[in-house]
Structure 1
Amino acid sequence: MDLNFGIKHTVIGYVLMLFVLLFSSCASSQENEELPVVNSTRIINFSGYEWIVRTSDEGKQGPGPNYFSDSEENVWVDAEGRLHLKVVERDGNWYCSGVILKQSYGFKKYVFYVGSRVDNLDENIVGGLFTHITDDEEIDIEFSRWSDPDNQNSQFAVQPSSKAGNKKRYDLDLKFTKSTHFFDWKPERIEFASYQGHNLTPEADAIVDTWTYTGESIPPHTAERVKINLWLFRGASPANGTGGEMIIDRFEMY
């Protein structure tokens, strides 16, 4: 056999093999594409799901705007598996907290079993349980008096909440530390509820409030993520001077 022919054949085969491997690798990464995560991003496991812990690094970001920190002082899961979010002060700055579900799950019933008195949050603090695509494609359950101590302390909302009929405010007057909150997101409607205690089939006196939304602002299922956050309205410091905490005992979806 001609030596040059054998060498050329071997080189061509090697090049073809590299091309196939490279093409296969690119195709695989595209099929399994997720929310980009860099090496410095902190991931936690809570209620059987992976969550990205939000950070704004050295700058401020919305909502607020605020500093968001992925420090374990701001966000952690305790030995009982409960998620803790805190607003804390460090070196003269207030740092807020948030987590983002790593994957998108679309039309489902999202249930949050809260383990702290979110009806007693500082008047400048907002606790949010929501799914987000854009600021105008968002479903919210929020606990806040929006810097007015005379305001009701909770709301169900579909963004834009400034649109008539897209928001229902209510008072969450808890009898216990624990409460249950959900939104059931369907293509034609969204059902909301807040209950006393941890129960999806409560007695009548444990139902705090419910709401069914059938308006024009129901978000489509695209690349939304469930998010949980604790932040300062308009970036204002807590009126109590000590910050605040929200505890989520567990999260479920159906």
Structure 2
Amino acid sequence: MDQHDIIPDAAMEGKFSTMEEQLQQERKIFVEKVNEIMDQCQRIVWNLCKQYENVLYRKSGTEEELIFGENTDGEDKTESEQPDNPPVPLMPETPKVISFSGFQWTVNPTSSKWNSDNAFVDEHGKLHLRLSKEDDGWQGALLTSVSKFGFGRYQFHVDARLDKLDPNVTFAMYSQPEHSPDSVAIKFAKWGYGDAEQVSYGMSNRFVNEPFLRTATSVGHRFKLNGPNTTHSFYRKRNSVLFRSQHGHENNNNRYEIFNWNCELPKEIDQQDEYAPVTLGLSLYDGRPPTDGQEVEIVITSFIFHP
């Protein structure tokens, strides 16, 4: 916007007896200009919306009626001519909520990256996450617990050959407070490389009372499973996080370990600041399709939180 469109030029200054009057006139011109621009924007938006008749129109016999009270000829309808039952615009998809392991989980709505149908619980109470090939590309699954958890042991029983995931497929289990960069995560991914480490355990944490200072720490590990059943957990404490993976479905023990790592924190953290939901996700790495072109399904048989 050009400055001279909203501020009087020097020739107008003599018309005002006081500086206050001049400022008032400038404000008036500015408001008028803003209103004009808003009207132009509304017309642009309206013209764009008219291109999507499946959203803005509904069929009533042979007559098309507009949501915003205009007919298809562009003539405004009077109040008496408005339809008795005006059409309702299409609403965004309502988030899908499922029950798994005694907790409620919100499934990410369908988009170019996710598909809400790719996360579901079967008749045995097991959670299925799918990575599927759709007409418009590959879509994964992402869901987050409604409940928030603090210090304690987060345990996941998984039924899948995680050691054989495609290099471009990523499966993650993590906890991250809302509006915070802090996170604790176990992620199965090869980052697009067939010979990369298959699992990484990591966390980022801000120093207490120093929110702009953060440390990020992770460790990777290669492994080979003797079957699809595995247990993965992280134990969040005030000054450390203990990560552990195990063969089979174990419960709060250290039997049949695949790997463990204790990550020490630089300072103790306050649990009140660390309550966070749990998120589970199956997706592509960097948007790259699986190298073998095959769809993927991972089953999580249970999630248990031990305070």
TM-score range, shorter chain: 0.7 to 0.9
Could you tell me how far 1:202 is from its partner in structure 2?
A: 4.5
Counterpart check, 1:130 vs 2:174:
yes
Q: What aligned pairs does 1:99-248 form with structure 2 within 5 A after superposition? A: 99-133=143-177, 136-159=181-204, 166-200=217-251, 201-203=253-255, 206-216=256-266, 221-248=273-300
Structure 1 distance, partners of 2:264, 2:280, is 24
Structure 2 distance, partners of 1:219, 1:77, is 35
Structure 2 distance, partners of 1:249, 1:232, is 22
Structure 2 distance, partners of 1:81, 1:116, is 16
Alpha-carbon deviations, 1:139-187, whole Å to 9, x = none? 0101111100010100100137xx8871110113111110000001111
Partner of residue 88, structure 1: 132
Aligned residues of 2:204 and 2:216 also touching (Cα < 8 A): no
Could you tell me how far 1:225 is from its partner in structure 2?
A: 1.1
Structure 1 pair 224–218 and aligned structure 2 pair: CA distance change class (3 A): farther
The SS at the match of 1:119 is helix
Could you tell me how far 1:39 is from its partner in structure 2?
A: 7.5
Aligned residues of 2:239 and 2:269 also touching (Cα < 8 A): no
Structure 1 pair 202–138 and aligned structure 2 pair: CA distance change class (3 A): closer
Counterpart check, 1:253 vs 2:299:
no
Gaps of 5+ in 2: 1-91, 206-213
Aligned residues of 2:187 and 2:199 also touching (Cα < 8 A): yes
The TM-score, its normalising length taken from structure 1, stands at: 0.74
Q: Larger RCO: Structure 1 or Structure 2 (Cα < 8 Å, ≥ 6 residues apart)? A: 1
Structure 1 distance, partners of 2:268, 2:145, is 20
Alpha-carbon deviations, 1:76-119, whole Å to 9, x = none? 11111110101101113110101100021211210000111111
Could you tell me how far 1:136 is from its partner in structure 2?
A: 2.8
- Matched to 1:68, the amino acid is W
Partner of residue 107, structure 2: 53
Structure 1 distance, partners of 2:96, 2:180, is 24
- Matched to 1:211, the amino acid is W
Gaps of 5+ in 1: 1-37, 60-66
Structure 2 distance, partners of 1:40, 1:175, is 41
Aligned residues of 2:239 and 2:266 also touching (Cα < 8 A): no
Structure 1 pair 235–79 and aligned structure 2 pair: CA distance change class (3 A): same
* Residue identity (%): 24
Larger Rg: 2
Match of 1:41 among 89, 92, 95: 95
More divergent stretch after superposition (143-152 vs 127-136):
127-136
Aligned residues of 1:123 and 1:239 also touching (Cα < 8 A): yes
Structure 1 pair 77–188 and aligned structure 2 pair: CA distance change class (3 A): same
Structure 1 pair 238–145 and aligned structure 2 pair: CA distance change class (3 A): same
Aligned residues of 1:158 and 1:218 also touching (Cα < 8 A): no
Aligned residues of 1:166 and 1:215 also touching (Cα < 8 A): no
Root-mean-square deviation (CA), in Å?
A: 2.2
Structure 1 pair 49–102 and aligned structure 2 pair: CA distance change class (3 A): same
Match of 1:76 among 120, 123, 145: 120
Could you tell me how far 1:217 is from its partner in structure 2?
A: 8.3
Structure 2 distance, partners of 1:175, 1:192, is 20
Structure 1 distance, partners of 2:180, 2:198, is 21
